[in-house]
Amino acid sequence: MIVNIVEFGAVDDGVTVNTAAIQNAIDHCAAQGGGTVVVPKGNYVSGTIMLRSYVELHLTPAARIVSSMKESDFTAPEGAEGLELSEGQGSQALVCARHAKNIAITGLGTIDGRGSQFLEPEDGVSDYVLQPLGGFRPKMMDFEGCTNVVFRDVTLYQASSWGMHMTGCNQVTVDGVKILGQVRGPNNDGIDPDSCKDVHISNCHIETGDDCIVIKTTKYGAERYGGCENITVTNCTLQSHDSAIKIGTETHADIRNIVVTNCVIRNSNRGVGIWVRDGATMENMLFSNLIIETRLFSNEDEIKRTLRWWGKSEPIFMTAERRNTPNAVAPGTIRNIRFDQLLIESEGCIYLEGFEEQKLEGISLSNVKMTMRVKSGYPGGVFDTQPSPRGVFPHHIPAIFLRNAKDVTLSDVEVKWAEERNANWSNALYGEQLEDLHIRGFKGLPAQEQLSVMELKRVQGLCIERTKALPGTSVFLLLDEVDSKDCTLEGNNFTNAATPVLLKEAKSIQG
């Protein structure tokens, strides 16, 4: 069955609120056993509409569903009572579905959230976070407990908060979707699979202020639907003032079996971010064939504002740490994470850090070429571990930073520094409190000539092999508080280093 919303009284003048007309068309189609509801050419203003089982909402190329600006036109979906919301998340949304199956939103048309009208004016020059004008900011899409869901080809334009939020949904396909968000808007996520399973995101172009794609398990989702697993992201182009790909920070249930491949990340604050904060296990994740370009955006050192971007241009950011909340639980576990075939340009470091009580485990970086390049003009020189007790704090910036991790492998990793150097840049590799660190085929120099290429403190079980010091190397390897009985150097060529290995409180190196 095919029905047209105009047949149910919809008016395309961009002023008339068509919520009832669109909803009646959907309900009629569902009552007949399902079919397609067509949105023809025109601008159709609407409040909350609810998609039903066996119904496809199809937007023709010149069709536009436009968000109403009146809060009274939006309703909280069934089951929203008592909903514990994430920061920046409202209970209202423009397009909703609840416990529906075999549903779809398709077509080359546009769903317009009018996001710019919910924020302070854009000045066209700055890059700090724009302040919301009020508390009402509806999500664009909010689906819960649905099965066999398809989003294909549609454009989501300037959501006022989250773009596409799916809680407890299974068998989801997101293909060829364009999300053109508010690039300076807070909480302006693109796609949020929350406690979902079997989700496939492919061939999408996403530009957002907040995270482009964020995989999470909120407390609400975890209590009702459990963990998040079996998710693939392929062939996407992503741009964000926050993280292009984010996993966490809300981790109230396990997240596992994630594959991200063949994606281009550009002009973003962070590339791939993995946080555990709420006691879950995050495991079995593969990231491959990625181009990642990150830069610094405004931060608290330059702009004193209530809302700030998270991140300091880290192409990869992985952290296990307690939240900065009373009675925070142990952060949880991150293990078995692999990165392969990456081309990186950034102002910040690859940041991999566990905590004393919960080390990262089984982390691998292979076939990585990383160029540190000044892009923004911001000073940097700080780490950002929000949300955590430490928050943002000063630190020198190596190309790769490791702390509190075990079973870490760096294989065929190359670090380069552009001619213009940030004064806060330091070693090619800096690590502390590590177990079983295996480095193979590493290539690079420090940002500052007097520093060592690698500086490692409190490491047990270090193996460096098949690595050559480059011309101009002063100190290749600085070891501090390292038990050299556990260190092995094999098949390396350090003839270009003035000092191949500098030991502090170590007696000998095998090999």
- What is the tens place of the pLDDT at every residue in 347-389? 999 999 999 888 999 999 999 999 999 999 899 999 999 999 9
Nearest to 334 by CA among 268, 397, 270, 273: 273
- Residues 488-509, mean pLDDT to the nearest whole number: 84
DSSP alpha helices (H): ranges in 315-444?
none
* H or E stretch covering 350: strand 350-353
Q: Is the peptide bond before 77 cis (omega within 30 degrees of 0)?
A: no
Buried b (16+ CB within 10 A) or exposed e, 286-310: bbbbbbbbbbbbbbeebeeeeebbb
Spatial contact of 273 and 311, defined as CB atoms under 8 Å apart: yes
Judge whether 238 and 244 are in contact, CB under 8 Å.
yes
What is the pLDDT at residue 463?
A: 96
Mean pLDDT to the nearest integer, 398-422? 97
Q: What is the pTM assigned to this prediction?
A: 0.94
**Is the pLDDT higher at 301 or at 478?**
478
Contact assessment for residue 254 and residue 229, using Cβ atoms and an 8 Å cutoff: yes
Residues linked to residue 402 through DSSP beta bridges, in sequence order: 352, 431
What pLDDT score was predicted for residue 308? 86
Per-residue 3-state assignment (H helix, E strand, C coil) for 480-509: ECCCHHHEEEECCECCCCCEEEEEECCCCC
In this prediction, residue 356 carries a pLDDT of: 87
User: Looking at residue 496, what is its pLDDT?
Assistant: 96
| Average pLDDT of the residues of the chain | 93
CA gap 136, 348 in Å, rounded: 35
Mean pLDDT in residue range 438-462: 96
- The pLDDT value given to residue 301: 61
- Does the domain made of 2-76+92-504 have the CATH classification 3.40.50.10490? no
Checking if the pLDDT of 335 tops 90, the result is yes
SS3 assignment, position 448: coil
| Residue range 105-117, pLDDT digits in tens | 999 999 999 999 9
Identify the pLDDT of residue 87: 43
> Token pair for residue 347?
């102002």
Amino acid at 333: T
Percent over 70 (pLDDT), the chain: 95
